[in-house]
Chains A and B, each alone.
Chain A
Amino acid sequence: MNDPITIARNSILVPARLDDHHLDRLLGLLAGSHLDAADIYFQKSRLQSWVLEDGVIKDGNFSIEQGVGIRAVSGEKTGFAYSDELEYPALAQAAEAARAIARAGSQARVRIGHVQAQRRLYEPIDPLESLPDEDKVELLRRVDAEAKRQDTRIKEVTASIVAVQDTVLVLSDDGTLAADVRPLVRLNISVIAEDQGHREQGGSGGGARTDLGWFLLEDRALEFAREAVRLALTNLEAEPAPAGSMTVVLGPGWPGVLLHEAIGHGLEGDFNRKGTSAFAGRVGERVAAPGVTVVDDGTLPGRRGSLNMDDEGTTTQSTVLIENGILRGYMQDKLNARLMGVRSTGNGRRESYAHLPMPRMTNTYMLAGTHDPREIIASVERGLYAVNFGGGQVDITSGKFVFSTSEAYLIEGGKIGRPVKGATLIGNGPDVLTRVSMIGNDLSLDTGVGTCGKEGQSVPVGVGQPTLRIDSLTVGGTGSE
């Protein structure tokens, strides 16, 4: 029963009275001679969340989303239909609609063949049931109290806890059946600090593919509360950020959002197949300074961006994107891999059954270098030390990317100086990493908070990096240089 295929069958197929005979017939409908590929994606996603605001547990929600997405591919054409009804007639109707993309072919006979073996980067558990409800709300109360205990200037605390169990079952046109049961937990805290009418916000949080007990280990939840307070109080002291081009030192961990925006999206297979990325056709060229190695790794145990298999049933892997400064490869799903004559890298992901899969990142990070982070700071006469960020965005085609600081300091005479207010940093993806002049020995990954949006689809991801010195980047503050 602790096997993802069995769990998926029992929770999705059995209640809809679907057996292997039905699945064979559906595949037969899709596997006509004019289709290059087809798949059927069953999903059941259960979510429970709790919100604390103004000192009370004010809301909770439980939701279930389930459905099936049926895709038929012919050349570069994709037909897609989905249904939240799982009974056979609804599925057959969706399959007919999807296969209409190709000229009608004869029905083929396909049998469900082998069942894909599974890795265990996380256990197929139900995180919603991993802690009694009383303990979940008690945890939020403790987070609230911890934040308020830190400083009398903390006026408002909002905290939430979310647990998701996402069960997927993928049936490919070759008869391969694969399943994954994906737990995901997340805790968030946001505080407002107020001092003499001046207010600032601070936020923190984390998550992983595990159970809710994770937040109780190593004082994690309370550490997030203290971190949110520290950020808000730091920003109370902050002065306007400078404006202009300058040396920027990025801290380790979450600032890896730089890699995600500046190069990650540009290396997704779809944009490169279509020639719309600033990186298209540049494999083998230098796109970063020597010493810069960047990977996308979906195989890190328990990480928010990790998956045992992607949403097309392909086992995830660690893909080298940039090796010692040279562009090595792209992230692929099945469609783009087939059209580019390569293999899928296990990056075919989708938000849900109601969305089409496409190449997406998992955990994207830069490997450690050799410099002590203190040495990196000491090397900068005047610049910006950026430690925490909000979101970022990229224009794949022009290569321009932005990301905005939520905690940053001036560097003056090789020392970390005054905190400065949030500023957007802007650069050009294909050349920003050529300006990396020092790489720290302190690689760390983020705490498990990343969500990536692409073409309206959101998926959980991770980022990471060591401390980095970038010799020139445009900083968008309002202060004078």
Chain B
Amino acid sequence: MSITSTEDTAERLARLEQTIEHLLAEAKRLGASAAEASVGSSAGLEVGVRLGEVETVEHTRDNGLSITVYFGHRRGSSSTTDLSHDSLRAAVKAACAIAAHTQEDPCANLADAALMAHGVLDLDLYHPWPIGVEEAVRIAAECEDAARGFDPRIVNSEGASLSAHSGLQVYGNSHGFVGGYPSTRHGLSCAVIGEEGDTMQRDYWWTSARAAADLEPARLVGERAAQRTVARLGGRQLDTCKAPVLFRAEVATGLVRSLVSAISGSSLYRRASFLLDHLGERIFPEFVRIHEEPHLPRGLSSAPFDGDGVATWAKDLVSEGVLRTYVLDTYSGCRMKLPTTGNAGGVRNLVVAMGERDRAGMLALMGTGLFVTELMGHGVNAVTGDYSRGAAGFWVENGEIAYPVEEITIAGNLKSMYANLVAVGNDCDFSGSTRNGSWLIDEMTIAGQ
């Protein structure tokens, strides 16, 4: 049930492209002035091992299609998981029926034809992993074994799981643009439980890549999961105070996500962003650069064109601390009276320019404060930037980790947190679509006992 041979893939891609063309023709036949559609098909294997035994073997297989029709500036859309001929016709009809009741929206339109991608760039995203269940189980077991054997305080496990996925995605619209490409994504993760006294802690680690060869070794993933778990044991609360906060690299990525959300078109035109009217203004210190690289070979969110068919391009979101662009698709761009930035579907591979300091250097720079390794909850207000989240991590004294802390919150406002970013570390140590080091913020309110 997995896609293995490239010849197969080319045929399937051609068939999905044909499906798109049929859909667009059907929309035209029903009177639509324009239409766009996307169709995807993927298959995969996911295996879970717990306490050395197979726990789950899942064979996944997903199909999906969505179509949007335009009658002038009125829009309707529909989607289905059933790619049969009858179902496709029904989907187009349903979208047209919806459009009969939506209202004129001057921005409801396809992207400008001149912006369509020319051909489909090969970004090296397709590396099928024809792995069998037995081999998948062996790798997941090796990963979990490494975690369980790491320290006697690791007493239980949520298991390790391995996944291998392969898929095809095709988009087309009535400008005549049809483009599609295959891609793969594989992963390995492990979560274990440590015990000390009568308290337990859980932590995990993961790796994710387009090609199996780029995954971190199974043993390493397990050991890091165990290491992180053991380090949390014996955590205590802090007294309520104000202190500098260092966000571990993968946790700091959440601060980047909040930025992207605040400069995204849909937040801006609804005036639901704390960064309204900040284009061209300094929002970070001068050393900060955040760059988008949609064509990064094997990048986890690389794409040659966006969800509107617009060719993507590399750009700075922030350079010299100044907000250089919003993140717009065709619709939100029109609402903002700006051209699209080729970001329908989001940003693709962000790189935060890293500084000189490694982990130890960042801890030393902070001196005494909180090193946050986990955040909990949804306490980010996108409209005001107010930030208050549950946290766990380590109290740091004179640049050295003193003891683990938990059941505390950290609070501030994103706008001032961004403006008062002290440094970005070079300690990026995780696989993800954002490359980022740890972030040191000069001061936040910590609530505890």
Contact = CB atoms under 8 A, between A and B. Distances in A.
Given A78-B57, A481-B240, A84 B271 contact: no
A272 B400 CA distance: 37
A59 B75 contact: yes
Contacts of B392: 398, 400
B407 A426 contact: yes
Interface in A114-170: 133-134, 136-137, 155-156, 158
B270 interface: yes
A474 B378 CA distance: 16
A424 B388 contact: yes
Contact of B58 (A48, A80, A392): A80
The 10 closest A-B pairs by CB, nearest first: A476-B409, A402-B390, A402-B377, A397-B202, A60-B98, A424-B379, A243-B447, A244-B240, A81-B59, A404-B379
A289 interface: no
B133 interface: yes
Given A63-B80, A397-B201, A276 B158 contact: yes
Interface stretch (A64-72, A313-321, A325-333): A64-72
B87 interface: yes
Contacts of A201: 272, 381-383
A200 B390 CA distance: 22
Contacts of A471: none
B199 A76 contact: no
A387 interface: no
A192 interface: yes
Contacts of B235: 398
A393 B376 contact: yes
Contacts, number: 254
11 contacts: A60-B102, A61-B77, A78-B55, A81-B61, A97-B59, A243-B445, A392-B378, A397-B202, A421-B386, A424-B376, A476-B388
B61 to A, nearest CB: 6
Given A97-B59, A393-B390, A477-B411, 16 more contacts: A59-B76, A62-B91, A82-B61, A158-B270, A274-B158, A278-B200, A391-B378, A397-B201, A398-B235, A400-B406, A421-B384, A424-B376, A426-B447, A474-B409, A474-B449, A478-B388
Contacts of A398: 199-202, 232, 235, 392, 406
Contacts of B390: 393, 400-402, 424, 426, 476
A52 to B, nearest CB: 9
Interface string A92-125: 0110011011000000000000000000000000
Interface stretch (B28-36, B103-111, B219-227, B303-311): B103-111
A100 B407 CA distance: 44
Interface residues of B, number: 80
B164 to A, nearest CB: 15
**B50, B379, B384, most chain A CB atoms within 10 A:** B379
A391 B379 CA distance: 8
B80 A58 contact: no
A62 B59 contact: no
Given A66-B82, A79-B57, A156-B272, A245 B377 contact: no
A371 interface: no
Contacts of A421: 381, 384, 386
Interface string A375-414: 0000000000000001111011110111110000000000
A56 B105 contact: yes
A203 to B, nearest CB: 11
B88 to A, nearest CB: 11
B56 interface: yes
Nearest to B232: A398
Nearest to A155: B271
Contact of A478 (B55, B87, B445): B445
Contacts of A278: 200
B98 A156 contact: no
